[in-house]
Amino acid sequence: MGESLVRFEGAQELILEKLTKNGFYKTRSEAIRAGVLELAHKHRVFESAKELEAELVVRKMKKISEEIKAGKRKVFSEAEVKAKHGFK
């Protein structure tokens, strides 16, 4: 997960304050995330929700593959899983 540090002043700060104070969003971070999604929709960054989902799946699978190669994630065979959880 990527992290960004952003400082808001003036109008943006006031808008975030109002959005959270008036209960539209629980946190400033939640409001910012919603804004990013709205910008992506407005500028048609993805053709559809399916395209966005597909990109997310590909990224997650690449991350998992890298973790397996680096030894950070263990892979179990079907037999190992069945034995561990008492299945026949």
pTM to 2 decimal places: 0.71
Dihedral sign (CA 37, 42, 47, 49): positive
* Residues 40 and 52 reside in one and the same domain: no
* Residues 59 and 87 reside in one and the same domain: yes
Dihedral sign (CA 44, 45, 51, 56): negative
Please tell me the total count of domains within the chain. 2
* Residues 35 and 57 reside in one and the same domain: no
Local confidence pLDDT in tens for the 88 residues of the chain: 689 999 999 999 999 999 999 999 999 999 999 999 999 999 999 999 999 999 999 999 999 999 999 999 999 999 999 999 999 7
Query: Which residue range forms the structural domain that includes residue 14?
Result: 1-45
